[in-house]
Structures are given as C-alpha cells and as structure tokens.
Amino acid sequence: MDFTIKVGAAAGEGAFVTGKVLGKLFARGGYHVFGYPEYPSLIRGGHNSYQVRISDGTIESPRRENNIILVLNPDAYAFHIETLAKDGVIIVDKSFAPGKDERELALPIADLIKEAGGDMRMKNTLLVGVTLGLVGYPLEMLEQLLEEIFGSKGEEVVNANKRVARAGYEIGKDHKKWEIVPKGEPKYYIAGNEAAGLGALSAGLRFYSGYPMTPASSLLHFLISKRGKLPLAVVQSEDEIAAINQAIGAAYAGVRAMTGSSGGGFALMTEAVGLAALAEIPLVVYLAQRTGPSTGMPTWTEQADLFQVLGASQGEFLRIVLAPTSIPENYRLTGEALNLAEKYQVPVFVLVDKFLAESNATLDSLPPIPIERGPIILEDMEELPLMKRYPRYKDTETGVSPRPVPGVRGGYHIGTSYEHREDSFTTEDFDERKKQVDKRMRKLAHILNESYPPIVEGNGRVAVVAWGSQKGPVFEGAKKYKRIAFNWVYPLDKEKVKKAFEGVERIVVFENNATGLFSKLLYMETGIKPDALVLKYTGRQFFPEQVEHALEMLEEKDFQSPDPIRYEEDFEKYEFYAPWRYKVK
C-alpha cells in the first residue's frame, strides 16, 4: 500500500499542522509515514504545502503523485492539481472551486463548521475529518489526538473540534473510495532535526550552542524544549562565532558538546574549527545545508557544502564527515558523531540538508546509543612538580593522547591554537612540529578501520550511487539496479569502497548540486570515476519518478554520458515565494 495526501495553503493557514496531524494519525496506526514540507522564506504571503505519504513498507522519500489533496485557498488548487492521481480527490471550498474537474469534492466549509457549532479556525479539523472518512480510518483516533492537542484550552474547545471533525468525517464517509485501517503497533513520528537531537541526547549531549539559521534552527528549538527536564545546557549565542567557541570551551571542560548552523553561519565558524583540531578538543558540528551561496534560497535544499566542510579552516588536519541517509539514521549518526569526536579528538561534521532536517518520518524504536569517550581522565592523579605540565599531547601509538579534564589533580595543561610540545607548552621547534603533525595524522588508520562501508542493495552491472539524504529517492527510483549510498563521506577507506563496486561496469551518480562534488571526492580518494552524473540544483531534492526517468534516458546510452544530466523541475513550477504573480482566481 502506498498512499499520498497533500495539504496546500497560504503561509499561516496551518498546512504544516494539518499535515503533521495526519502523519501522526497514520503512524499511530502502525504505518510507515514520510512527511514532506515545502515553504518559502516568508511568514505570510507565500504558499506552503505538506505531503503525507503512507505505506506498509519502509519509505524515505516523497512522491510526485497525490491521492488526496486538501486545498485551503485558490493558489493551492492551481499549484497542485496536476499532481492529483487519476482516481484521486481534491477537497476544496465551494466558494472558489472551479467546478471543472470531476475529481473535486467541493464543500460549503463555512456552513458545515457553523452547523457543527465551531468557528472558522477549525477549518483544518473539518478537512482532516473528511480525509479520514474518505479512507475509512477510525474517527476515534482523531478525537483522541484532538484531546491531546486542545486539552489545555478546555473542554468546550475540545468538544467543538470533535463536532467539526465528526461533520467532516460523515461527508468523507459518504464519498469513501479507499480502505486504510490501523495495522500494527504505533510508531514514532518525528522530524529529522528532532531525531538528531534525540540521538545526541541518547549519546550523552550536555551542552549545545547555536544561533538560529534555517534549516538548523529547529534543532536548537527542540533542545531548548528539553532544558530543565534533562541535565542539559542550551545557549542561543549572539552569533555563530560565539556558538562554536562556546561548544569548544564546553568540550575542553569535559562536557559532551556540539553546535549547529547552516552554510552561511558555518562560514563564520571555520576559523575556530582549526583551533579545535590543533588543540585536539572534541568538536561536533551539525551542518544543515540549504541553497547558496550567500542567502541563496533559505528554505530550500541542496548538497553543495561538502567542500566547504572539507576545507574549513586553514592547514591540514583530520576530520570526519558523516551524511545520514534517512531520519532514523540521523538519530544514530548524530549520537555516534559525539563518540567519534571524543575517541579521536577531532572535529566531526554531521552533514544534512533542509530535505532531511525538516521532513518527518516514522521510527519503530529509539535504541540507546552506547557512550564511548576514548582516553579521558576524570579521576585525580599524582600532583605534578612545580612548573611541570601533564603530557597532554603525548606521542602515542594510536595518535590519540589521554585527555585530563580541567580540575583533575595532576592533569594541568593548556589548550592553545599554537603548535605545542607533548606537555602543551607552545613551540616553534621544527622537529617538534613534525612530531605533533605525525602524531595527529596517525589517527587516520584507526578512523578508517572504524569507518562505515557504503550501503549496498541489489546487484547488477550498473551501480546507481547517492550520498546523504538523496539515498531515499534514488534507491526507490533505481530498484532495477545495484544501489550504493554513502553515509560516511570522509575520510574514505579505499578497500571498503572498492568492495562495494565489485562486478560493476557502469556507475551513475545522483547529486543535489551543480558540479558533482561527491563524485570529485570519490575520484580523489579512491580513483573511482562515474560514467554518468545526474545533477539537480533547483532547490528541491530528487523525486523517485525523476530518478527513474533519468535512468531510462541513460539506458539508451549504455549509462555513459560525457556531460552531466542537469535536471530541471518537471512539475509544480509555481513559485511558492510569490503566488501573486500567477493571478489565480
């Protein structure tokens, strides 16, 4: 079963709330759900939409086609009607229904709400009721959710919403076309940034600092909501420079810490990344990509910050870049990033994007993440002689040196941006410089040994490759082929990567950027070069139908293309930012 519902509305009319309510309802019925929001960088005046995709199998992507569309204003009708399935239903207010499509279910919304004893603020409740009636989903589950949502507002508000929902449900039931009933145990339904926050908390996060910047902001908001309930400090910093330095300071003090931003904010953080690297202070940066450069299109998605992360700060030093491929993986990898940062005392980047950060998906469970802190010293040692410091940067076999936290007796040392000797005193001795660089670089072999191999599904002579968030749509659209996805992006273990490509004769890479950044990195690190590149940089991620179409075109060329295929958007071309341009009536 694969069923999609889309809600379209003007900004501020509740498209997201309505979509998330539907998502929660079907998740509570045991279904896999994927929720996909789209919106412009406007509080009011633009167009918003939210697609809910429901399935009895795992899903990690939205689709183009919709079975039901809920229309809250005339723009929404014009924007989304072309995506309605042939046997679909578009629920629309009679006051602006064109009346030209037999799939319209035109309702006198104001009259129905008034008859039920509600007010127009309950329009979304009515439409959810109609939707559930159309698919035969139990009204009781909506009524329970309404009690949870509006319980704090009093019994009168709850009962009014229930009456409006019932009125909508009865109409939907009269036009019922599908049968979707609860099928199993409830699932969690959470956003990508919420999953990241929960993963970090499970792994022992105790300090987060950040300055609001879409699409990383909701991680900051989520963690702020947990203050007072958990041993957690969250700071909304005055800017991104302060945010990263606060995280470094907390980590130096022995606290599990991280910071987060989007590309423009991270640009301000990059100098401090080098401080963390040279002082070998564990640092986790959660970087949620959006279109750029500069302000770009702030609420749309792209995978174009990879080289920004790889080149952050000057000089050479080790770093780890993780790119979760799904919302459940965002939970796990954000938690594991904290482990990797402390075990190897290097900067670790969790590289997501707007698509993954702000979409919603179901999780069956939230397994605890084991905490691994590496060689950290928390207990007092023997007192040091006068003028002596602990050998914080001792030249060890693994390159990782024991790290006493401040306040531990006998562990006195400093963390500095200057090159240093083993005892942390600054130095410009040439041999000491080489010795410390070699020590830090010695971690690489151990990091590579722990690195994740690529995710591989299917088989065949043609490999279709994605990284990070694009795994979902690419894997779904490439079911006929061998599929390879990377969630460990850097550094790459050549042998693990080459094993994933065994038996492959043609390689097609899909990327959400204009220049094939990961393809370049893959070639630099392993010598593997794609035969064809499919690139999309419109501000949207790939849809499975687009992946399927691109592969059909490439099949005619034996999956070889000297020039990249640059994908344009092939549906819903209206500009959400300026619906007034289209003079919709």
- Please give the tally of structural domains in the chain: 4
Locus of tokens 């390879």: 484
User: For the ranges 38-52, 345-359, 450-464, 503-517, which has the lowest average pLDDT?
Assistant: 38-52
Please tell me whether residues 244 and 275 are part of one structural domain: yes
Helix (H) or strand (E) holding 105: strand 104-107
Query: For residue 375, which amino acid is it?
Result: P
Please tell me whether residues 76 and 118 are part of one structural domain: yes
Q: How many CB atoms lie within 10 A of CB 386?
A: 5
Domain that residue 434 falls in: 375-450
At residue 490, the pLDDT reads: 98
In a domain, 180, yes or no: no
Q: What CATH number is attached to the domain comprising 41?
A: 3.40.920.10
Q: Which of 226, 188, 189, 201 is nearest to 368 (CA)?
A: 201
In a domain, 369, yes or no: no
Q: How many CB atoms lie within 10 A of CB 151?
A: 11
Q: What CATH number is attached to the domain comprising 293?
A: 3.40.50.970
In Å, how far from its chain's centre is CA 49? 18
Please tell me whether residues 478 and 539 are part of one structural domain: yes
Cβ contact 236:220 at 8 Å: yes
Q: Average pLDDT, stretch 358-387?
A: 96
Please tell me whether residues 40 and 58 are part of one structural domain: yes
* Residue 233 main-chain phi, psi, to 5 deg: -110, 130
Residue 93's DSSP bridge partners are 107
Question: 3-state class of 197 per DSSP?
Answer: helix
Please tell me whether residues 315 and 435 are part of one structural domain: no
DSSP letters for 306-362: HHHHHT-SSS----EEE--SSHHHHHHHHHHHHHHHHHHTSEEEEEEEHHHHH-EEE
Please tell me whether residues 201 and 329 are part of one structural domain: yes
Q: Average pLDDT, stretch 293-311?
A: 97
Q: How confident is the model at residue 109 (pLDDT cuts 50, 70, 90)?
A: very high
Please tell me whether residues 138 and 233 are part of one structural domain: no
Q: How confident is the model at residue 581 (pLDDT cuts 50, 70, 90)?
A: confident
In a domain, 579, yes or no: no
In Å, how far from its chain's centre is CA 393? 36
Q: What's the whole-number average pLDDT of the chain?
A: 96
Please tell me whether residues 300 and 249 are part of one structural domain: yes
pTM higher than the cut 0.85: yes
Please tell me whether residues 147 and 278 are part of one structural domain: no
Residue 492: is its pLDDT beyond 70? yes
Q: How confident is the model at residue 203 (pLDDT cuts 50, 70, 90)?
A: very high
In a domain, 182, yes or no: no
> 433, 450, 467 — which closes off a domain?
450
The sign of the torsion formed by the CA atoms of 143, 144, 146, 152 equals positive
Residue 66 burial (C-beta neighbours within 10 Å; 0-12, 13-18, 19+) = buried
In a domain, 184, yes or no: no
Residue 213: is its pLDDT beyond 70? yes
Residue 582: is its pLDDT beyond 80? no
**Cα–Cα distance, 298 to 213 (Å, whole number):** 9
- Per DSSP, 233 falls in state E
Percent of the chain having pLDDT more than 70? 99
> 423, 450, 477 — which closes off a domain?
450
Please tell me whether residues 307 and 425 are part of one structural domain: no
What is the rounded radius of gyration, in angstroms, for the C-alpha atoms of the chain? 26
Please tell me whether residues 210 and 341 are part of one structural domain: yes
Q: What CATH number is attached to the domain comprising 528?
A: 3.40.50.920
pLDDT digits over 393-424, tens only? Answer: 999 999 999 999 999 999 999 999 999 999 99
Residue 256: is its pLDDT beyond 80? yes
Q: How confident is the model at residue 585 (pLDDT cuts 50, 70, 90)?
A: low
Please tell me whether residues 201 and 343 are part of one structural domain: yes
Percent of the chain having pLDDT more than 90? 95
